[in-house]
């Protein structure tokens, strides 16, 4: 899974002033943490624009680590979050899915899917950098949105957030990494049960089944994540970094594995029936409502 490490990269000398259309990048010098958050201009789902911007953040962070400026802005933790009230990410771009399925445009769907798993894989290995990664889920995380969160080393959610994999409702499956990521967290049987149920769970339910690492009180996800990062200082960070590196060696997420699964997902989507497409269209309308205002679309 190859990518140009300089494509879209912002200059390390401009760190602190990096700007991206759909994501905000904020540095916490005390925790030595870099937060990447879907911003208010972002779609509530994983659009091509968000994929482009996250890829540019990846290139920018890699360039920073390779530069002298990293000594002035050390990064121990990289966090994925959202600034959209009530929404972490609602998953795939369903409007685009409906369009390409109706036209049987495999190439467009394949390019989108490969871009998604390229970033999921990069997040699962912390951009190949000596960082510990953390997802901070404050709102709904559905389908591909939850897959993106699972790619981090650790996941924090608030108790009452809504999380799930609803793809079974239109006879497909989460094809951007959920099978691989959840199987490593829960075991194959429990992961398949969760995926095939299509059920939407609360953060507490996900925590109790072991899919989530840290449970935060409602409204306290960011505060909880910051306290967790500050706990134990440099020594604790080094232990966590060693743990995540050991985990990646013992339970590797191979790029080829993700690519093979998402290729199967593309073929499954293109075989959707008219009834499946109508269900996607109903969810597309919900995503459009979320784009117009910050509210619960369901």
Domain with 54 in it:
16-219+244-292
* Encoded tokens for 294: 């910050």
* 283-289-294-298 Cα dihedral, nearest 10 degrees: -40
Flag the least confident range among 70-84, 152-166, 185-199, 273-287. 273-287
Structural domain includes residue 261: yes
Residue 2 covered by a domain: no
**Which phi and psi angles does 81 have, rounded to 5°?**
-150, -175
pTM above 0.85, yes or no: yes
Report if residue 129 sits inside a domain.
yes
Number of CB atoms found within 10 A of residue 72's CB: 11
Q: Which two tokens stand for residue 196?
A: 């095939």
Residue 233 falls inside a structural domain: no
State the DSSP string of 169-194: GGT---TTTHHHHHHHHH-HHHHHHH
Please name the residues in contact with 108: beta carbons below 8 A apart, sequence gap of 6 or more.
96, 100
Q: How far apart are CA 69 and CA 107, in angstroms?
A: 40
For residue range 172-211, list pLDDT tens digits in order: 999 999 999 999 999 999 999 999 999 999 999 999 999 9
- The tens digit of pLDDT for each residue in 224-263 reads 999 999 999 999 999 999 999 999 999 899 999 999 999 9
Rounded distance between C-alpha atoms, residue 93 and residue 294, angstroms: 18
Residue with tokens 């060693």: 242
Q: Specify the CATH number for the domain of residue 176.
A: 3.90.226.10
Answer yes or no: is pLDDT of 10 > 50. yes
Residue 1 included in any domain = no
Residue 50 included in any domain = yes
Supply the pLDDT for residue 218.
96
Dump strand ranges (E) for the chain.
Answer: 23-28, 33-38, 77-82, 87-89, 132-137, 140-142, 154-158, 162-164, 200-202, 214-216
Q: Across the beta sheet with 23-28, what order do the strands follow?
A: 23-28, 33-38, 77-82, 132-137, 154-158, 214-216
Query: By the 8 A CB rule, do 97 and 269 touch?
Result: yes
- Plot region of 127 (φ>0 → left; ψ -120 to 50 → alpha; else → beta): left
What confidence category does residue 169 fall into, taking pLDDT thresholds of 50, 70 and 90? Answer: confident
Task: Confirm whether 224 is domain-assigned.
Answer: no
Structural domains of the chain, count: 1
Give pLDDT, residue 81. Answer: 98
Please report the pLDDT score of residue 27 as a whole number.
Answer: 98
Tell whether 230 is covered by a domain.
no
Q: How far apart are CA 83 and CA 36, in angstroms?
A: 10
Query: Which range (140-144, 186-190, 205-209, 276-280) has the least confidence?
Result: 276-280
- List the one residue out of 31, 218, 237 whose CA is nearest residue 153: 237
């Amino acid at each position: 899974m190859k990518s140009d490490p300089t494509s879209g990269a912002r200059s390390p000398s401009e760190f602190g002033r990096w700007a991206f259309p759909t994501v905000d990048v904020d540095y916490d010098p005390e925790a030595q943490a870099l937060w990447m958050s879907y911003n208010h201009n972002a779609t509530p789902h994983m659009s091509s624009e968000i994929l482009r911007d996250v890829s540019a953040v990846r290139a920018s962070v890699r360039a920073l680590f390779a530069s002298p400026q990293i000594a002035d802005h050390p990064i121990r933790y990289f966090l994925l979050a959202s600034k959209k009230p009530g929404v972490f990410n609602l998953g795939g771009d369903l409007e685009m899915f409906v369009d390409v399925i109706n036209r049987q445009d495999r190439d467009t769907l394949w390019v989108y899917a490969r871009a998604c798993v390229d970033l999921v894989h990069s997040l699962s290995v912390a951009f190949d950098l000596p960082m510990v990664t953390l997802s901070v889920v404050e709102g709904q995380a559905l389908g591909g949105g939850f897959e993106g969160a699972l790619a981090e080393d650790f996941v924090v959610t608030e108790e009452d957030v809504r999380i799930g994999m609803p793809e079974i409702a239109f006879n497909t499956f989460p094809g951007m990494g959920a099978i691989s990521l959840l199987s490593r967290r829960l075991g194959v049987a429990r992961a398949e049960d969760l995926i095939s149920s299509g059920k939407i769970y609360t953060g507490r339910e996900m925590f109790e089944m072991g899919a989530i690492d840290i449970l935060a009180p409602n409204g306290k996800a960011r505060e909880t994540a910051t306290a967790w990062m500050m706990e134990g200082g440099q020594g604790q960070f080094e232990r966590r970094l060693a743990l995540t590196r050991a985990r990646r060696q013992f339970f590797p997420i191979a790029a080829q594995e993700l690519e093979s699964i998402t290729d199967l997902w593309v073929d499954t989507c293109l075989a959707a029936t008219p009834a499946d497409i109508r269900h996607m269209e109903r969810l597309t309308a919900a995503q459009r409502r979320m784009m117009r205002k910050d509210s619960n679309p369901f």
